[in-house]
């Protein structure tokens, strides 16, 4: 109780409307990105996965963390409460820890609230809830230390918003922020995907096999794969904490001048010292802003000239639509068999089945088209003998929201291959806005192996 009373006393300067703004914007972001939280699959774990994805939406721009860092470090009342003429180390540590605890309580409650909203609306298994909340708390600890460091370094609300939001948005858009956007274990370094997979494992759910996991979340990940990203982010977090405490020394002294100047007094006896402190902050603001701009420019340059997708050799193509297109009736299955040699297996890391809609015929907008597809060792006669439900049970990969603006299923690499042999590929296209639609679209189908 004494601890809680002490925290309350040290946070009395936080305005209620600031907390309302933080919670309101966080919920708004989760709601705006709610459509991308739907797994688009069926199964007992789907409701929990929806709740995890919905909670992860809060991390897309890091709204609660960015706003909390401004409230705790960049407002005038925050400066006045921390102003210290002789900012000794123990005072800086106590000040930082108090605010770190306050912020983690706020952001953890916000993420837990969104999580419970997702669990409630999707009727998810409540047994999974503690693990997901624990994962959200862990990510909160990491991101708060990061946003704190930026807020203290630039010490201005607009710069804090620009730098923190840009950095978190960079991770989200570079590594993806949707259900199947993870492409490799490198995606786990993005807070959104790190939280999602950490929550999945802490929930206690185990996927039956790797194919099911890849269908649900895009890639196959083992718990050990999380150790690298967690270690890196922990080191970043620790560095940010140490750096923040170091920067607080001059910041606290400068805040003394701000508070006394506003009261018509003057505590800084050495004007040159104050000017040096102010100029140091302005320099950090410029460096941080320039760093963000360079990050985006260098990434764009790298992707354009260095990291462009490799061309697929002709011998790796297994099937291409004749004359670059073919007509497909919605609701029907298109399928064929192809041969995969042992030489190709030795040179590939996985398969891709890409469908690009070229002519939309009677499509009238709405939620878009959905493509169900698969690639596995199966005979034509056995597949033809299956009913529609049985076909869907073995062709478990899906891509949805295919629209004229995004007409392709993309080039995701699937890693499940069972050696050389006769493989069957199959696709079925449906209209999510008109479940029983049977109009014909023109599409290009490509099935190929990705070279190592």
Query: Phi/psi zone of residue 123: left (φ > 0), alpha (ψ -120 to 50 degrees), beta?
Result: left
**How far is it, in rounded angstroms, from Cα 174 to Cα 181?**
10
Confidence bin at 308 (pLDDT 50/70/90): low
Domain range 314-451, CATH architecture: Sandwich (2.60)
Q: Which residues of 298-320 are buried (b: 16+ CB within 10 A; e: fewer)?
A: eeeeeeeeeeeeeeeeeebebbe
Q: What is the pLDDT of residues 115-125, one digit of tens each?
A: 999 999 888 89
pLDDT of residue 120: 92
Phi, psi for residue 433 in degrees, rounded to 5? -90, -20
CA angle, residues 353, 354, 358, in degrees to nearest 5:
150
Confidence bin at 183 (pLDDT 50/70/90): confident
pLDDT at 263 over 80: no
Residues above pLDDT 70, as percent of the chain: 88
Instruction: Output the CA–CA distances (angstroms, integers) from residue 161 to 168, 188, 371, in the order listed.
Output: 11, 24, 39
Two structure tokens written together for 259: 């508070």
pLDDT of residue 269: 46
pLDDT of residue 313: 86
Confidence bin at 245 (pLDDT 50/70/90): very high
What ranges do the domains of the chain cover?
2-306, 314-451
Q: What is the pLDDT of residues 312-361, one digit of tens each?
A: 888 889 999 987 788 999 989 999 999 999 888 888 888 889 899 998 87
Give me the helices (H) in 57-190, please.
Answer: 63-73, 76-82, 89-122, 129-154, 157-175
Mean pLDDT of 15-40: 85
* Beta carbons of 114 and 77 less than 8 angstroms apart: no
Q: Shortest CA distance to 104 belongs to which of 164, 76, 146?
A: 146
**How far is it, in rounded angstroms, from Cα 435 to Cα 373?**
17
* Beta carbons of 69 and 149 less than 8 angstroms apart: no
**How far is it, in rounded angstroms, from Cα 78 to Cα 94?**
15
pLDDT at 447 over 50: yes
pLDDT of residue 4: 52
Task: Let me know if 290 is exposed, middle or buried by CB neighbors in 10 A (0-12, 13-18, 19+).
Answer: exposed
Confidence bin at 71 (pLDDT 50/70/90): very high
- For the ranges 203-212, 269-278, 358-367, which has the lowest average pLDDT? 269-278
DSSP structure class, residue 57: G
Q: Which residues of 140-172 are buried (b: 16+ CB within 10 A; e: fewer)?
A: bbbbbbbbbbbbbbbbbbebbbbbbbbbbbebb
Mean pLDDT of 367-376: 86
Entry pTM: 0.73
The distance from CA 334 to its chain's CA centroid, rounded to whole angstroms, is: 34
* Mean predicted lDDT score pLDDT of the chain: 84
- For the ranges 109-113, 120-124, 164-168, 175-179, which has the lowest average pLDDT? 175-179
Query: Phi/psi zone of residue 381: left (φ > 0), alpha (ψ -120 to 50 degrees), beta?
Result: alpha
Confidence bin at 3 (pLDDT 50/70/90): low
**How far is it, in rounded angstroms, from Cα 47 to Cα 284?**
45
Query: What sign does the CA torsion over 195, 198, 203, 206 have?
Result: positive
Q: What is the dihedral of CA 366, 369, 370, 376, to 10 degrees?
A: 180
Query: What sign does the CA torsion over 144, 146, 151, 152 have?
Result: positive
Mean pLDDT of 85-112: 87
pLDDT at 184 over 70: yes
Instruction: Output the CA–CA distances (angstroms, integers) from residue 253 to 272, 277, 278, 281, in the order listed.
Output: 13, 9, 11, 13
Beta bridge partners of 350: 450
CA angle, residues 164, 167, 171, in degrees to nearest 5:
140
Q: What is the pLDDT of residues 387-430, one digit of tens each?
A: 988 888 888 777 767 888 888 887 777 777 888 889 999 999 99
Q: Shortest CA distance to 183 belongs to which of 452, 449, 427, 414?
A: 414
Q: Which residues neighbour 293 within 8 Å (Cβ) at sequence distance 6 or greater?
A: none
**How far is it, in rounded angstroms, from Cα 345 to Cα 446?**
18
pLDDT at 289 over 90: no
pLDDT at 265 over 60: no
């Amino acid at each position: 109780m004494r601890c809680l009373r002490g925290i309350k006393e040290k946070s009395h300067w936080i305005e209620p409307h600031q907390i309302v703004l933080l919670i309101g914007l966080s919920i708004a972001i989760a709601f705006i990105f709610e459509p991308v939280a739907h797994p688009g699959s069926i199964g007992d774990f789907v409701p929990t996965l929806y709740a995890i994805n919905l909670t992860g939406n809060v991390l897309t721009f890091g709204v609660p963390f960015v706003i909390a860092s401004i409230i705790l470090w960049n407002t005038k009342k925050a400066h006045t409460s921390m102003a210290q003429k002789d900012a000794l180390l123990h005072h800086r540590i106590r000040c930082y820890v108090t605010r770190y605890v306050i912020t983690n309580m706020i952001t953890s409650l916000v993420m837990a609230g969104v999580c419970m909203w997702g669990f409630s609306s999707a009727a998810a298994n409540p047994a999974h809830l503690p693990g997901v909340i624990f994962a959200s708390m862990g990510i909160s600890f990491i991101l708060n230390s990061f946003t704190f460091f930026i807020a203290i370094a630039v010490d201005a609300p607009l710069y804090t918003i620009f730098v923190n939001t840009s950095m978190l948005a960079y991770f989200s858009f570079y590594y993806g922020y949707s259900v199947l956007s993870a492409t490799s274990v490198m995606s786990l370094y993005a807070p959104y995907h790190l939280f999602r997979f950490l929550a999945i494992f802490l929930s206690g759910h185990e996927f039956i096999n790797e194919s099911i996991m890849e269908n649900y979340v895009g890639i196959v990940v083992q718990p050990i794969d999380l150790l690298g990203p967690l270690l890196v982010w922990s080191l970043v977090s620790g560095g940010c904490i140490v750096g923040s405490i170091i920067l607080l020394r001059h910041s606290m002294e400068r805040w003394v001048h701000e508070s006394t100047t506003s009261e018509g007094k003057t505590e800084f006896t050495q004007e040159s010292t104050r000017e040096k402190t102010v100029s140091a902050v302005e320099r950090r603001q410029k460096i941080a802003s320039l760093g963000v701009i360079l990050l985006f420019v260098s990434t764009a340059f790298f992707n354009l000239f260095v990291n462009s997708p490799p061309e697929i050799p002709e011998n790796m193509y297994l099937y291409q639509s004749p004359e670059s297109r073919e007509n497909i009736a919605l609701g029907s299955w298109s399928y064929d068999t192809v041969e995969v040699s042992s030489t190709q297996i030795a040179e590939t890391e996985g398969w891709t089945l890409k469908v690009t809609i070229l002519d939309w015929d009677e499509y009238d907008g709405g939620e878009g088209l959905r493509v169900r597809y698969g690639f596995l060792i199966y005979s034509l006669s056995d597949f033809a003998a299956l009913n529609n439900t049985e076909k869907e049970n073995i062709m478990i990969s899906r891509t949805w929201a295919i629209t004229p603006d995004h007409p392709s299923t993309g080039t995701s690499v699937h890693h499940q291959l069972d050696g050389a042999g006769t493989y069957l590929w199959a696709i079925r296209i449906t209209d999510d806005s008109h479940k029983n639609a049977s109009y014909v679209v023109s599409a290009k189908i490509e099935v190929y192996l990705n070279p190592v």
